[in-house]
Amino acid sequence: CLGISLLLSHGASSQVIQDDISSKLIGSWAGEGKAFGGPSRPEMKWESTLNGKFIKLSYRTVIQTPKGDQVFEGHGYYKSLGAGKYQGNWFDSQGSSHPISAVFADNSLTANWGTQQTEQGKTIYRLTSPDEMELIDSVLKKDGTWQEFGRARLKRK
Protein backbone atom coordinates (compact mmCIF):
# COMPACT_ATOMS: atom_id res chain seq x y z
CA CYS A 1 0.00 0.00 0.00
CA LEU A 2 2.84 2.37 0.83
CA GLY A 3 4.35 1.89 -2.64
CA ILE A 4 1.06 2.70 -4.36
CA SER A 5 0.56 5.70 -2.10
CA LEU A 6 4.03 7.04 -2.90
CA LEU A 7 3.48 6.47 -6.63
CA LEU A 8 0.14 8.28 -6.57
CA SER A 9 1.46 11.19 -4.52
CA HIS A 10 4.49 11.56 -6.82
CA GLY A 11 2.24 11.54 -9.90
CA ALA A 12 -0.07 14.13 -8.40
CA SER A 13 2.78 16.44 -7.44
CA SER A 14 4.80 16.18 -10.65
CA GLN A 15 4.52 19.28 -12.79
CA VAL A 16 3.61 19.43 -16.45
CA ILE A 17 6.55 20.75 -18.46
CA GLN A 18 5.79 24.11 -20.05
CA ASP A 19 6.94 24.03 -23.69
CA ASP A 20 6.62 26.07 -26.86
CA ILE A 21 3.51 24.28 -28.13
CA SER A 22 1.61 24.59 -24.87
CA SER A 23 2.61 28.20 -24.28
CA LYS A 24 2.00 29.44 -27.84
CA LEU A 25 -0.40 27.13 -29.69
CA ILE A 26 -2.86 25.85 -27.07
CA GLY A 27 -6.36 26.95 -27.97
CA SER A 28 -8.87 26.86 -30.82
CA TRP A 29 -8.12 28.29 -34.26
CA ALA A 30 -10.19 28.80 -37.43
CA GLY A 31 -9.61 30.36 -40.82
CA GLU A 32 -9.70 30.13 -44.59
CA GLY A 33 -7.32 28.91 -47.24
CA LYS A 34 -6.82 26.53 -50.14
CA ALA A 35 -6.28 22.79 -50.13
CA PHE A 36 -5.83 20.57 -53.18
CA GLY A 37 -6.76 23.52 -55.41
CA GLY A 38 -10.08 24.36 -53.75
CA PRO A 39 -11.17 26.82 -51.08
CA SER A 40 -10.96 25.40 -47.56
CA ARG A 41 -12.17 26.24 -44.07
CA PRO A 42 -9.74 24.73 -41.56
CA GLU A 43 -10.27 24.53 -37.81
CA MET A 44 -7.87 23.18 -35.21
CA LYS A 45 -7.64 22.79 -31.49
CA TRP A 46 -4.40 22.30 -29.53
CA GLU A 47 -4.85 20.98 -25.98
CA SER A 48 -2.92 19.32 -23.19
CA THR A 49 -4.00 15.71 -22.68
CA LEU A 50 -3.16 12.47 -20.88
CA ASN A 51 -2.14 14.08 -17.60
CA GLY A 52 -0.20 16.79 -19.43
CA LYS A 53 2.22 14.34 -21.01
CA PHE A 54 1.08 15.04 -24.59
CA ILE A 55 -0.30 17.89 -26.65
CA LYS A 56 -3.21 16.83 -28.84
CA LEU A 57 -3.98 18.51 -32.14
CA SER A 58 -7.53 18.03 -33.46
CA TYR A 59 -7.77 19.22 -37.06
CA ARG A 60 -10.75 19.49 -39.40
CA THR A 61 -11.14 21.19 -42.75
CA VAL A 62 -13.93 21.43 -45.28
CA ILE A 63 -12.63 21.60 -48.85
CA GLN A 64 -14.89 22.86 -51.63
CA THR A 65 -14.66 20.71 -54.76
CA PRO A 66 -16.67 20.63 -58.01
CA LYS A 67 -18.41 17.51 -56.63
CA GLY A 68 -19.33 19.19 -53.34
CA ASP A 69 -17.74 19.72 -49.96
CA GLN A 70 -15.23 17.16 -48.68
CA VAL A 71 -14.25 16.87 -45.02
CA PHE A 72 -10.77 15.89 -43.86
CA GLU A 73 -10.09 15.29 -40.16
CA GLY A 74 -7.08 14.20 -38.17
CA HIS A 75 -5.53 13.98 -34.72
CA GLY A 76 -1.88 14.45 -33.84
CA TYR A 77 -0.25 13.66 -30.51
CA TYR A 78 3.01 15.46 -29.70
CA LYS A 79 5.42 14.71 -26.87
CA SER A 80 8.09 17.22 -25.89
CA LEU A 81 11.66 15.92 -26.00
CA GLY A 82 12.98 19.24 -24.67
CA ALA A 83 14.94 22.00 -26.44
CA GLY A 84 12.05 22.67 -28.86
CA LYS A 85 11.98 19.12 -30.24
CA TYR A 86 8.92 16.87 -30.40
CA GLN A 87 7.95 13.41 -31.51
CA GLY A 88 4.46 12.23 -32.20
CA ASN A 89 1.92 10.39 -34.29
CA TRP A 90 -0.78 11.45 -36.73
CA PHE A 91 -4.06 9.64 -37.49
CA ASP A 92 -6.64 10.84 -40.03
CA SER A 93 -9.98 10.22 -41.73
CA GLN A 94 -8.26 8.75 -44.80
CA GLY A 95 -7.03 5.89 -42.62
CA SER A 96 -3.45 7.18 -42.60
CA SER A 97 -1.13 6.91 -39.63
CA HIS A 98 2.23 8.69 -39.68
CA PRO A 99 5.09 9.22 -37.25
CA ILE A 100 5.95 12.88 -36.62
CA SER A 101 9.29 14.53 -35.91
CA ALA A 102 8.89 18.23 -35.16
CA VAL A 103 10.89 21.29 -34.13
CA PHE A 104 9.64 24.59 -32.72
CA ALA A 105 11.88 27.55 -33.65
CA ASP A 106 11.32 31.19 -34.61
CA ASN A 107 7.60 31.01 -33.70
CA SER A 108 7.04 28.07 -36.09
CA LEU A 109 6.38 24.42 -35.48
CA THR A 110 7.71 22.40 -38.42
CA ALA A 111 6.32 18.87 -38.34
CA ASN A 112 7.86 16.31 -40.69
CA TRP A 113 5.58 13.31 -41.05
CA GLY A 114 5.54 9.93 -42.75
CA THR A 115 8.20 7.44 -43.78
CA GLN A 116 10.22 6.63 -46.90
CA GLN A 117 8.12 3.47 -47.31
CA THR A 118 4.82 5.37 -47.34
CA GLU A 119 4.45 9.09 -47.93
CA GLN A 120 6.51 11.95 -46.51
CA GLY A 121 5.25 15.43 -45.84
CA LYS A 122 5.78 18.58 -43.89
CA THR A 123 3.33 20.85 -42.08
CA ILE A 124 4.40 24.28 -40.86
CA TYR A 125 2.38 26.09 -38.20
CA ARG A 126 3.84 29.62 -38.32
CA LEU A 127 2.66 32.20 -35.79
CA THR A 128 2.49 35.58 -37.51
CA SER A 129 1.25 37.15 -34.26
CA PRO A 130 0.18 35.67 -30.90
CA ASP A 131 -3.35 35.17 -32.28
CA GLU A 132 -2.72 34.55 -35.99
CA MET A 133 -1.20 31.58 -37.74
CA GLU A 134 -0.19 30.55 -41.24
CA LEU A 135 -0.57 26.83 -42.00
CA ILE A 136 1.42 25.33 -44.90
CA ASP A 137 1.17 21.67 -45.98
CA SER A 138 3.59 20.06 -48.44
CA VAL A 139 4.41 16.57 -49.67
CA LEU A 140 7.83 15.28 -50.74
CA LYS A 141 7.84 14.30 -54.41
CA LYS A 142 9.90 11.44 -55.85
CA ASP A 143 12.37 13.93 -57.35
CA GLY A 144 13.15 15.27 -53.85
CA THR A 145 11.28 18.57 -54.18
CA TRP A 146 8.43 19.76 -51.97
CA GLN A 147 4.98 20.29 -53.49
CA GLU A 148 2.62 22.51 -51.51
CA PHE A 149 -0.95 21.19 -51.35
CA GLY A 150 -2.47 23.44 -48.71
CA ARG A 151 -2.11 26.92 -47.27
CA ALA A 152 -4.36 28.78 -44.86
CA ARG A 153 -4.49 31.67 -42.43
CA LEU A 154 -6.11 31.04 -39.07
CA LYS A 155 -7.04 33.20 -36.08
CA ARG A 156 -7.29 32.18 -32.47
CA LYS A 157 -10.95 31.92 -31.39
- The pLDDT, as a whole number, for residue 18 is 54
Percent of the chain scored above 70 by pLDDT? Answer: 88
User: What's the alpha-carbon Rg for the chain, to the nearest Å?
Assistant: 17
pLDDT of 13 strictly over 60:
no
- The pLDDT, as a whole number, for residue 86 is 95
Burial 122-141 (b: 16+ CB within 10 A, else e): bbbbebeeeeebbbbbbbbe
Q: pLDDT-based confidence at 2, cuts 50/70/90?
A: very low
What is the Cα–Cα distance from 96 to 2, expressed in whole angstroms? Answer: 44
- The pLDDT, as a whole number, for residue 10 is 40
Q: Which amino acid would we find at residue 21?
A: I
- Taking only the tens place, the pLDDT of each residue in 42-82 is 999 999 999 999 999 999 999 999 999 999 999 999 999 99
- Taking only the tens place, the pLDDT of each residue in 88-98 is 999 999 999 99
- The pLDDT, as a whole number, for residue 80 is 93
Q: pLDDT-based confidence at 19, cuts 50/70/90?
A: low
Which one has a higher pLDDT value, 119 or 12?
Answer: 119
- The pLDDT, as a whole number, for residue 131 is 97
- Taking only the tens place, the pLDDT of each residue in 22-36 is 789 999 999 999 999
